[in-house]
Amino acid sequence: MKFVAQGDRRIEVGNAITTRSMARRLPQLMRRALALGWQVDRRSVIALLACEAASGVLEALGLLATTGVIKPVIASGDFSANQLLDAAPSLTVVVGAIGLRALLGIASAALSARLAPRISREAELKLLDAATHAELAAYDNPGYNDRWDAADRGVDVSRELLTQCQYILAAVASLIASSCALTAVHPILLPLLILAALPKGLASVRAARVTYIASLTTAKDRRLLGMLRWYLVDKQTAAQIRSGTMAHFLISKYRATGDQIDKTTDQATLRSAKISLLGGAAGGFASAVVWAALGALVVAGHISVAALGTAFLALSRVSTSLDGIIGYGAQLFRTGMYLDDWADFIDEAGGHRINRGPEVPTGPEIVSADSITFRYPNADRPALDGVSVAVRRGEILALVGENGSGKTTLSKLLSTLYLPDDGTITWDGTDTRNIDASAAWSRIAVVPQDFACWPLSARENITLGQPTPEGDEAVLAAARAAGADEVVEELRSGLNTLLAKEWWGGQELSGGQWQRMAIARAFHRPAGLLVLDEPTAALDPRAEHRIFAGLRRHAADRAVVLVTHRLTNVAIADRIVVLNKGRVIQHGSFAELLADRSGLFRELWDLQNERTGQVPAPGSSNHGVAPNQHALF
């Protein structure tokens, strides 16, 4: 009986899970659970272990004392006050043990409830930390998302880890105690009972494996459900869902995906049930054999009737403990599989841990790309193919080209967010592969096309949580340069205003106002390389003019890379590089490119100006705009 699912390395690993591997893994997993608990609250872990150990000892005492209670009654065959008096000491031990064990049980449950959410949070924090230490390229790799999902599920189940461990510890303590009592009655009983528990144990492991593999198989669909849910309810898409009457389409997609998950899960549940049924039947038969053996031992006179009482109790306890160990062991094992995914992710950041050299940049004074090639995973052609460009501090380099020509990709490589497959990007002569990533990123300021609207205060939106020693003075200066000062002035509490309407006291901005904030945060950053990717797409003409009029000033102590389709704006650049299908097909000054009548730049320029009737003739005053002159502004 095998649950068949293919196409994932982890599913193959899942299929390779055996009872033996589970038995080997359990102690390891329990150590991991305790270690996680130890990191968040060691006192509680110690107290929990002490409670479980004490509970086991009390159980053994109680069981052994049981014979002392039954014996006087059985010996006389009479149930009177005298017999009760003879049994009183043992009875006190039994009752005391039961009472104390109940108290310890309550304490254990409270400790476990205290530890579980903390362990889960710690696991989540470790995962988030690992995710932020993955190369940006990881997100373009489909396998990365799957690994993240599996690891995230590891976080979900981590809160169960300790409870499962606690139950296993309690069951082990009870097993040891009952086994001692049972062995004291007759040594053959314990091995017989362990044999009887085996079929159920094997079945539980197989059932756990089936469930785990099913959850891996449905991971992609579950992610799709999550995305659909987000698109259906998020504020950003709400208007488009309505205006595009898309709700029905998306909801039916959600339903179909959910049905697919249910189908896979139902198959797995059915298989698990069949396995459990077989295990249960075999286990029931084996238990009957054990009870028959016990009866035979009494009939043959190998154990007394008084000892039979203890054996009776101990047997049912051992049986319950074994069931507990097997049942919770199987659960813990499944939890452990998810935790392996979590631990793997943390160790390797989903296989993409940033692992660059240790060089710490100072500038950069000059950023150069030398014959670089870069291909996104599974892409048919490289996004960049043999590209060479350079930009120095004090210069503005503009990247121009049609959609998909590679402008954004090149700007990401120049700013070390990606590394090239071939060729080199150097910062002041140092290959970016050898530069410490965090140190490099602290030297760049980027206004991306799809800038984030952080649900933070206006101040934090500009400082990105990294204020400079100049404090608000620098924040306001950056805001002024970006035209965001007008935005801040209108905010209810100025820089303190929370820019998220979803929260009480928060305020929302328009698209253009947000873009001004995004530019302000780039201007605020003490960076050597400034990348502006369509920085004014949402700005009104006045705001756009303000940005470009001030850009030369910002470029004075920065290397600036400007990506834009609005060709009038690139007149400010010292050099313009025209990309087509990932290759540089033209480069030069604004005037040079405009003068080349057969070039792509001139063609795009003519197209852009055709509808306004403003096609300037080469050599006219507009075409003669020299770099560093602000004739257009």
Ligand X SMILES: Nc1ncnc2c1ncn2[C@@H]1O[C@H](COP(=O)(O)OP(=O)(O)OP(=O)(O)O)[C@@H](O)[C@H]1O
Binding residues (CB under 6 A) for ligand X: these are 140, 376, 379, 383, 401, 403-409
Residue nearer to ligand X on the CB measure, 54 or 537: 537
Rg (CA), the chain: 35
Smaller CB separation from ligand X, 12 or 402: 402
Nearer to ligand X, 72 or 401 (CB): 401
- Please give the full DSSP string across 9-44, using - where no structure is assigned: HHHHHHHT--HHHHHHHHHHHHHHHHHHHHHHHHHH
Please name the residues in contact with 164: beta carbons below 8 A apart, sequence gap of 6 or more: 33, 328, 331, 332, 335
Which residue's CB is nearer to ligand X, number 10 or number 147? 147
Measured from the CB atom, the residue of 267 and 373 that comes closer to ligand X is 373
C-beta closer to ligand X: residue 338 or 374: 374
Helix or strand (DSSP H, E) at 58: helix 19-76
Q: Which is nearer to ligand X, 95 or 452 (CB)?
A: 452
Give least dist CB 541 to ligand X, A: 21
Q: How far is the CB of 140 from ligand X (least distance, A)?
A: 4
Residue 257 or 569: the one with the smaller Cβ distance to ligand X is 569
DSSP string, 108-161: HHHHHHHHHHHHHHHHHHHHHHHHTTB-GGGGGSHHHHHHHHHHHHHHHHHHHH
Backbone angles phi, psi at 370, to 5 degrees: -120, 105
Cα–Cα distance list, 32 to 36, 99, 566 (Å): 6, 32, 57
Measured from the CB of residue 402, what is the shortest distance to ligand X in angstroms?
Answer: 7
Measured between its terminal Cα atoms, the distance across the chain in Å is 76
Q: Are 142 and 378 in contact (CB under 8 A)?
A: yes
Q: Minimum CB separation from ligand X for residue 442, in Å? A: 24
Q: Which residues of 336-362 are buried (b: 16+ CB within 10 A; e: fewer)?
A: bbbbbbbbbbbeebbebebebeebebe
- The residue count for the chain: 633
Report residue 309 as tokens.
């009482």
Return the axis-axis angle of helices 247-299 and 189-217, rounded to nearest 10°.
Answer: 170
Contact 433, 474 (CB under 8 A): no
446 φ/ψ sector (left φ>0, alpha ψ -120 to 50, else beta): beta
Nearest distance from C-beta of residue 476 to ligand X, angstroms:
32
Least separation, in Å, of the C-beta of 579 and ligand X?
Answer: 6
Q: How far is the CB of 387 from ligand X (least distance, A)?
A: 11
Closest approach, Cβ 406 to ligand X, in A, equals 4
Considering beta carbons, is residue 144 or 514 the nearer one to ligand X?
A: 144
Min separation Cβ 322 and ligand X, Å:
53
Cβ 136 to ligand X shortest distance, Å: 9
Nearer to ligand X, 154 or 420 (CB): 420
Q: Which residue has the tokens 């054990």?
A: 290
Question: What is 553-582 written as a DSSP string?
Answer: HHHTTSEEEEE-S-GGGGGG-SEEEEEETT
Q: How far is the CB of 405 from ligand X (least distance, A)?
A: 4
Q: Which residues on neighbouring strands pair with residue 584, listed in sequence order? A: 579
- HSE-CB for 346 with a 13 A CA cutoff: 18
Dig out the tokens for 409 from the structure. Answer: 């990709």
Question: Is-contact 58 104, C-beta < 8 A?
Answer: yes
Between 579 and 625, name the residue whose CB sits nearer to ligand X. Answer: 579
* Shortest distance, position 382 Cβ to ligand X, whole Å: 9
Q: Which residue lies nearer to ligand X by CB, 403 or 598?
A: 403
In contact, 536 and 566? CB cutoff 8 Å:
yes
Are 592 and 528 in contact by the 8 Å Cβ rule? The answer is: no
Do 577 and 584 meet the contact criterion of CB atoms below 8 Å apart? yes
Q: At what angle do helices 189-217 and 219-233 cross, to 10 degrees?
A: 50
Considering beta carbons, is residue 243 or 403 the nearer one to ligand X? 403
Q: Which is nearer to ligand X, 383 or 530 (CB)?
A: 383
Q: In whole angstroms, how close is the CB of 223 to ligand X at the nearest point? A: 17
- Pick between residue 383 and residue 499 the one whose CB is nearest to ligand X: 383
DSSP state of 418: S
Distance from C-alpha of 473 to C-alpha of 188, rounded to nearest angstrom: 84
Neighbours of 542 (CB within 10 A): 9
Q: Which is nearer to ligand X, 260 or 580 (CB)?
A: 580
CB 389 within 8 A of CB 561: no
Nearest approach, Cβ of 275 to ligand X (angstroms)? 42
The minimum distance between CB 398 and ligand X, in angstroms, equals: 13
DSSP 3-state of 162: helix
CB-CB contact of 479 with 488 (8 Å): yes
How far is it, in rounded angstroms, from Cα 401 to Cα 411?
13
CB 211 within 8 A of CB 268: yes
We find the least distance from the C-beta atom of residue 586 to ligand X, in angstroms, to be 15
Report the alpha-carbon distance of residue 88 to residue 70 in Å, rounded: 11
